[in-house]
Amino acid sequence: MSVWAETTLGTWGRVHRSRLRAARPLESNAVPDLVRAENDLGVVIHGGGRCYGDASLDTGGRAILTRSLNRIVDFDRAAGEVVCEAGVTFEELSSAIFSHGWCYPVSSATAAVTLGGAFANDIHSKNHHLLGAFGDHTKWVDLVLAGGEVVRASPAENTDLYFASLGGMGLTGAVLRVCIRLMPIPSNSVDARYVPYPDLDAMLDAINGGREIEEFLFGWIDVFARGSALGRGILESGRLAAADGGCVPPPKPRSIPFAPPAGPFLAPAMRQVARRRYEKLPSRGVGVRKDLFSFLFPLDHIKGFNKLYGRSGFYSIHAGFPPAAERAGIRAMVEEIAAAQAGSTTAVVKPMRGPGRGLMSFPIEGMVLAADLPRRRDTPRLHDRLEALVLDHGGRLYVAKDALMSPDGFARMFPNLSAFRAALERFDPNGRFQSDLARRLKIRG
């Protein structure tokens, strides 16, 4: 039986902490009663705890912790479909399906993300240019609505609810179960290639040249480099290997036991790491065969990776630009971050195929720039300048990874906001589902 208890939840960015009452249901049939529990500040759904910002916090309210709802309900090996409870992570799903020749078409950057969170944020990956976002491969979802009723929604059934919930940040209902279509894989290996490019134009040219031929395409850039080296980096491409064998060993597990104090040393240290990463790769590039899991989740071998940014934590900015403005928009952002020397060693660019299917889905056709921003006194002002650049170039920010976006910027970036508000008024007129993010961005108006 689920019991509410006072607790404190934090974010992956280690910036926000929220005091609230939380319950951890062990069975999915307990969720409707938890949703109906009386509380003026509503309830939020909290899954794997990997939100960078405040989307899964509800300060002063209540949180339903869904991580224990992690059963794989059904796996149809012939049809290539799997039904999972909301708390199943990509790591757990990988263990269940890889050995049978199946994989999920779209994954998150870390295997610790739950499938419920993947649906609620309509996540995208480094194969978006070919396969789209998570919602493109979702067959149906079971949701607990504000009144406690359980409703199945899909692109063919209860469609208004489905498309409002896909990418709807958990504000339309609590995900109980999700059914996704899998893709067959010839092996559990990927043939990957890593090639350095000396500047941003060369990197973007290479990405656009690989859109139609590479299964996976992902560019790391050095956001500390300036001048003629601005935007230099390493392009990672990959294709599913025809057979296993000959894989390089996966990285050894590592752990960051504590967060070092943030200070003036952080930026120079990261700048040095980025420079060495770029310079150690031969100009012709290298090709390696990697196991699929290590390829999809390259940082998961470092436990506590988010502590690298120091005790102050970090923010993230994840911007998408349309084709006509992608080069100018990304250049403007890289110049701003490089000038501030406020970036990280995890800045990336990747192509996007087209719009997500949800009312509030992030993806658009074009290209993405994503970067972590270590928390400093001037980081909010830097974010304001970056947000303005995104708006000037007709782009948008990824709500799931942003903790500093302004309400005005949010409203200007998402043209379906009015339709989403109408859906919230229909499915949750009393505002049962809430979050710190929803209040900060004034999503309900």
Q: Can you count the helices (H) and strands (E) in the chain? A: 13, 21
Give the residue among 362, 372, 397 at the shortest CA–CA distance from 305: 372
Tokens 């979050």: give the residue: 435
pLDDT at 311 over 90: no
- Select 189-404's CATH number: 3.30.70.260, 3.90.1150.10, 3.40.50.720, 3.40.462.10: 3.40.462.10
Q: CB under 8 Å to 260, separation ≥6 — which residues? A: 307, 310, 311
pLDDT at 263 over 90: no
Q: What per-residue confidence (pLDDT) applies to 404?
A: 97
Q: What per-residue confidence (pLDDT) applies to 245?
A: 87
Percent with pLDDT over 70 in the chain: 99
**For the residues 280-294, what does the mean pLDDT come to?**
97
Question: Alpha-carbon distance 77 to 138, whole Å?
Answer: 16
Tokens 């403007």: give the residue: 332
Tokens 């339709």: give the residue: 419
**For the residues 312-322, what does the mean pLDDT come to?**
96
Grade residue 55 by pLDDT with cuts at 50, 70 and 90.
Answer: very high
Q: CB under 8 Å to 23, separation ≥6 — which residues? A: 2, 3, 4, 5, 34, 62, 63, 64, 65
**For the residues 52-62, what does the mean pLDDT come to?**
94
Report how far apart, in Å, the C-alpha atoms of 115 and of each of 48, 80, 312 are.
9, 17, 29
pLDDT at 310 over 50: yes
pLDDT at 54 over 70: yes
Grade residue 373 by pLDDT with cuts at 50, 70 and 90.
Answer: very high
Question: Alpha-carbon distance 279 to 179, whole Å?
Answer: 44
**For the residues 435-442, what does the mean pLDDT come to?**
97
DSSP bridge partners of 219: 235, 349
Q: What per-residue confidence (pLDDT) applies to 180?
A: 98
Q: Does the pTM of the predicted model rise above 0.75?
A: yes
pLDDT at 299 over 80: yes
Q: What per-residue confidence (pLDDT) applies to 1?
A: 47
Q: What per-residue confidence (pLDDT) applies to 309?
A: 86
Q: Which two tokens stand for residue 284?
A: 């012709």
Measured in degrees and rounded to the nearest 5, phi and psi for residue 144 equal: -95, 115
pLDDT at 40 over 80: no
**For the residues 294-307, what does the mean pLDDT come to?**
92
CB 145 within 8 A of CB 32: no
Domain residue spans of the chain: 189-404
Q: Write out pLDDT tens, residues 92-127.
A: 999 999 999 999 999 999 999 999 999 999 999 999
Tokens 């499915």: give the residue: 427
Q: What per-residue confidence (pLDDT) applies to 343?
A: 82
For the ranges 30-34, 187-191, 211-215, 309-313, the lowest mean pLDDT is seen at 309-313
pLDDT at 256 over 90: no
Q: What per-residue confidence (pLDDT) applies to 128?
A: 97
Sign of the torsion formed by the C-alpha atoms of 354, 355, 357 and 362: positive
Cα-based torsion angle of the residue sequence 173, 104, 68, 144 in order, rounded to the nearest 10 degrees: 20
Question: Alpha-carbon distance 51 to 55, whole Å?
Answer: 7
Angle at 13 between CA 278 and CA 121, to 5 degrees: 95
Grade residue 403 by pLDDT with cuts at 50, 70 and 90.
Answer: very high
Question: Alpha-carbon distance 393 to 321, whole Å?
Answer: 7
Question: Alpha-carbon distance 388 to 1, whole Å?
Answer: 48
**For the residues 172-183, what does the mean pLDDT come to?**
98
Q: Write out pLDDT tens, residues 121-158.
A: 999 999 999 999 999 999 999 999 999 999 999 999 99
pLDDT at 350 over 80: yes
